[in-house]
């Protein structure tokens, strides 16, 4: 052990690729009172609005970018099967981006995706200098996921969600009440036992079919 005999010429060794998300510019943007009071509509398209609000209070080199897409792709907000797909897709996406998210975390960046009842929320947070590249790479990897083999990840996520949906009814009553409040107030809400029964019969082929039609349209 003190003198290991290892032929390094045959060893499959290498350095990890450089983290291109590390910020290099830490300048604070100049104050701009016009945009610091309230969000301003900068540009409007037939299917999108772009708003901006400047932070002149904390003087930090960071920003938050939020994107909300209203869509009924895969019948989101209309059928309970869409809620099951959205839950599965979100967790598969998290697993698929695990290595990328690790590099982002090292650069103090974060990316979250939250499917709601009739829309999908995307949020990026971190240093201004890294934000354009971070958003571009996040969307590129999200789009490329449609061509990836996700069978193994799907099986793991399905197993975990089935357990989560079942264990929900073992939680404290007040915790269940908060979660079930949506079932009373929102027509598009789906109870966990209904989603579990759908997920039990939900296959990888079903997921792939929905995935190909996912986020093709919206506002």
pLDDT for the residue 182:
67
Residues 6+ positions from 97 with CB-CB distance below 8 Å: 111, 138, 141, 142
- What is d(CA 195, CA 87) in angstroms, rounded to the nearest whole number? 10
Adjacency order of strands within the sheet including 110-115: 62-70, 119-127, 110-115
What is the C-alpha separation between 101 and 120, in angstroms, rounded? 19
pLDDT score, position 191: 86
CA–CA dist 194, 192 (Å, integer): 5
| Domain limits, the chain | 59-212
What does the pLDDT read at residue 218?
80
Contacts with 15 (C-beta within 8 Å, 6 or more apart), sequence order: none
What's the topology of domain 59-212? Cytochrome Bc1 Complex; Chain A, domain 1 (3.30.830)
Ordered per-residue pLDDT tens for the chain, 219 residues: 566 665 656 656 667 788 999 999 999 988 888 888 899 999 999 889 999 999 888 889 999 999 999 999 999 988 999 999 999 999 999 999 999 999 999 999 999 999 888 899 999 999 999 999 999 999 999 999 999 999 999 999 999 999 999 998 787 876 767 666 666 556 667 888 999 999 999 999 999 999 999 998 887
pLDDT at 44: 93
Tell me what pLDDT residue 86 has: 95
pTM of the entire predicted model: 0.84
């Amino acid at each position: 052990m003190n003198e290991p005999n290892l032929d390094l010429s045959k060893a499959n060794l290498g350095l990890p690729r450089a983290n291109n998300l590390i910020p290099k510019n830490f300048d604070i943007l100049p104050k701009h009172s016009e945009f610091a009071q309230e969000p301003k509509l900068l540009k409007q398209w037939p299917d999108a609005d772009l708003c901006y609000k400047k932070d002149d209070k904390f003087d930090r080199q960071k920003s938050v970018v939020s994107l909300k897409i209203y869509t009924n792709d895969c019948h989101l907000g209309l059928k309970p099967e869409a809620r099951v797909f959205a839950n599965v897709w979100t967790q598969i996406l998290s697993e698929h981006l695990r290595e990328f998210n690790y590099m982002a975390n090292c650069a103090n960046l974060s990316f979250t995706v939250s499917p709601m009842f009739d829309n999908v929320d995307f949020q990026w947070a971190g240093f201004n200098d890294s934000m354009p590249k971070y958003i571009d790479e996040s969307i590129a990897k999200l789009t490329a996921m449609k061509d990836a083999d996700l069978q193994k990840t799907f099986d793991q996520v399905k197993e975990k969600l089935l357990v989560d949906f079942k264990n929900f009814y073992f939680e404290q009553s007040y915790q269940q009440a908060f979660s079930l409040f949506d079932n009373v107030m929102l027509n598009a809400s789906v109870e966990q036992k209904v989603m579990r029964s759908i997920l039990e019969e939900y296959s990888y082929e079903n997921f792939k079919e929905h995935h190909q039609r996912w986020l093709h349209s919206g506002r």
